Amino acid sequence: MLNKAKDTEYGRNHLFGSAKGYEDFIKHTPINTYEELKGDIDRMRHGESDILWPGRVKWYAKSSGTTNDKSKFIPVSTDGLKNLHYCGGRDSVAWYLQNNPKSRLFDGRALILGGSHAPNYNLPGSLVGDLSAILIENINPLVNLVRVPKKQTALISDFEIKRERIAREAMNKNVTNISGVPSWMMSVLSCMMEITGKKHLEEVWPNIEVFFHGGVAFTPYRKQYEQLITSPNMHYMETYNASEGFFGIQNDPTDKSMMLMLDYGVFYEFIPMDEFDSDNPTIVPIWGVETGKNYAMVISTSCGLWRYILGDTVKFTSTNPYKFIITGRTKHFINAFGEELIVDNAEQGLAYACQQTGAEVKEYTAAPVFMDDKGKCRHQWLIEFAKAPADVKEFERLLDTKLQELNSDYEAKRYKDITLQHLEIVVARNGLFEEWMKLRGKLGGQNKVPRLSNSREHIEVLLHLNEE
């Protein structure tokens, strides 16, 4: 990768051409967040060539924002498509077939969900949008012969319209496998069950056998899928794919950990999480990781992301081979449904709602309410007010609207209440959070209330205390 990128602007500035090995690379190349690379990426989006990666990069995956931006725009090079993103799908199928030699996967169609894309600054041939849409746009045309829905349907931007069209196109096809984010896929399948009047998916697709899933944790959805698909021949296979690349595959159905993909266009480093916030943290190359330790992932890719902090945290369960589980994010967040809501979004949203209503927030925490049997889900906020708003429902509305403005992924999931319903605020009694922290032995000092969580562990205890 260094040799290929040595004549780019970034490669020249960081001496890629003279690097003899890993030590030279890390000596001259800093650790980067999106903010450090944003200026270069924006130049690339405006058509400049040879900046972070050779040639002109034409595609950009729109991802959830950072502290300063509503959205990130991750470059997706031709090399990245070939050597990183598409490799994961190929190997997922290969491993599935190895584990299931009697599979009839190719006797039918694959239902593959995708997002949408739009022109990038109106530059010819340049697109920005969901990674899935970029993958569909560039996929081998032969694949379209074995997938549903048709390309035009897959790329519709209005998910409400797209959901029904996908359901109608797919319900009369012999679908054997499905791929996508669990929350989005459940929405499509629920729509199809409603149209067909069937109760179980195998009544529509009798040969369905596997769901390749990724993007968000599957655990909250597993029970729903098992209720929808009762066939004993159904399999579930987790993948770790992101806008930045394809990193892991669950190669063993009896083991929840995933294989780290070392032969793709990506180089891995790791920061121990107990050092993550230090001024000079240890950076560990892949050959230096230990099992059982929590690490933040750092990647260098054939899309031009150099020593880039991905934001995900992992823990290795094995180093021979390298297998891992995803443990969370480097910061507090909610990503139960692909919304990737970060603390900065929450703080800005609350500040706006307080400004508009005259309210004052003392403490708060928020967590997801996972889908019920009707596929409904929402965020639940427990807020202790120093000065309560006159109308809590108006405060809810203002907060929800501001969060959509700040975070494009949250906005997408809230669209027409399809994936996420309007958030809910529960008013906490005075002193609740202090009492809870005291009970946990964490009153005072540097101890902080966890603001956002993917789990309901904390909020359930707090809600119980709030009723006492």
Return the H-helix or E-strand segment holding 22.
Answer: helix 22-28
364 and 461 together in one domain: yes
Same domain for 22 and 150, yes or no, is no
SS in 3 state form for 163-224? HHHHHHHHCCCCEEEEEECHHHHHHHHHHHHHHHCCCCHHHCCCCCCEEEECCCCCHHHHHH
Q: Do residue 354 and residue 214 come from a single domain?
A: no
Last residue of a domain, one of 249, 270, 302: 249
Burial per residue of 148-187, b for 16 or more beta-carbon CB atoms within 10 angstroms, e otherwise: bbeeebbbbeebeebbebbbebbbebebbbbbbbbbbbbb
What CATH number is attached to the domain comprising 183?
Answer: 3.40.50
In a domain, 68, yes or no: no
Please state, in angstroms and rounded to a whole number, the distance separating the CA atoms of residues 463 and 448. Answer: 18
Report yes or no: 240 and 214 within 8 Å, Cβ to Cβ: yes
Structure tokens at 273: 């999480």
Residues 142 and 191 in one domain: yes
Residue 401 lies in a domain: yes
84 and 149 within one domain = yes
Q: What pLDDT is stored for residue 344 in this prediction?
A: 79
Domain end residue (candidates: 217, 249, 281): 249
* Same domain for 169 and 96: yes
Verify that 285 and 378 share a domain, yes or no. no
Specify the pLDDT at position 66: 54
Q: What is the pLDDT of residue 434?
A: 86
Nearest to 86 by CA among 261, 251, 340, 232: 261
289 and 157 fall within a common domain:
no
Question: Is 231 in the same domain as 310?
Answer: no
Q: Give the C-alpha separation, 456 to 96, whole Å.
A: 33
CA distance 399 to 328: 25
Give the number of domains in the chain: 3
Any idea how long the chain is? 468
List of the chain residues with pLDDT < 50: 445-446
Single out the residue of 90, 88, 94, 80 nearest to residue 299, CA to CA: 80
Write down the H helix ranges in 75-181. 78-80, 86-99, 131-138, 151-154, 159-170
Short-list 195, 155, 201, CA closest to 176? 201
Residue 414 maps to which CATH number? 3.30.300
User: Range of 129's domain?
Assistant: 80-249
Tell whether 70 is covered by a domain: no
Domain boundary among 329, 358, 390: 329
**CA gap 288, 302 in Å, rounded:** 22
- Kindly state whether residues 323 and 339 are assigned to the same domain: no
Residues 163 and 103 in one domain: yes
Whether 73 maps to a domain, the answer reads: no
Asked, for residue 343, whether it belongs to a domain, the answer is: yes
pLDDT (0 to 100) of residue 384: 94
Tell whether 148 is covered by a domain: yes
Residue 66 lies in a domain: no
User: Do 159 and 220 share a domain, yes or no?
Assistant: yes
**198 in a structural domain:** yes
For residues 38 and 309, the answer to whether their CB atoms sit within 8 Å is no
Please say whether the beta carbons of 316 and 322 come within 8 A: yes
Residue 200: strand pairing partners: none
Distance CA 58, CA 79 (A): 12
Strand partners, 32: 308
CB 92 within 8 A of CB 249: yes
The predicted structure's pLDDT at residue 189? 95
